[in-house]
Amino acid sequence: MLQVTVEDKNNIVILHIIGEFYIESIQKVEKIWEDEVAKTPAVIAIDCADLMFIDSSAIGTLVKFLNNAMSKKIRLVFLDLNPSIQQVFSTARLNNFFTITTRSKFEREYLL
């Protein structure tokens, strides 16, 4: 089961995706995304520290989120990919398009 929590810090939103991100949960994540984008934050970070698995449909959704964020001048950042998710991103060459960093580096750059 996928769980998404939202952390709102002024003009920065952090989405924590916990569990396994499959096609069945895309609608839920898209709804949360739309609600947060409507607030027009400067940055949306997706914290993947507790994301254990992602399927190809969910990867497509993340690419859609990137395109949506870019069109609205919102910076999208991915945080703390575990090794298996990092491997998926690398294999799909998503690390060439996505901004990926650690939570601590993100906090130093955006929250302090």
Domain 3-80+88-111: CATH architecture, name and number where available: 2-Layer Sandwich (3.30)
pLDDT confidence of residue 111: 87
Contact indicator for 69, 36 with CB cutoff of 8 Å: no
pLDDT band for position 112 (cuts 50, 70, 90): confident
Domains of the chain by residue range: 3-80+88-111
pLDDT confidence of residue 83: 93
Contact indicator for 79, 47 with CB cutoff of 8 Å: yes
The mean pLDDT value for 12-20 works out to 97
Tell me the one-letter amino acid at 90: S
Mean pLDDT, the chain, rounded, equals: 96
- Return the residue matching tokens 């690398």: 90
Tell me the one-letter amino acid at 102: T
Model-level pTM?
0.95
Q: What is the three-class DSSP state of 98? A: coil
Question: In angstroms, rounded to a whole number, what is the distance separating the alpha carbons of residues 44 and 14?
Answer: 6
Tell me the one-letter amino acid at 69: A
Distance of CA 28 to CAs 10, 32, 35, 39, 102, Å?
24, 7, 11, 18, 25
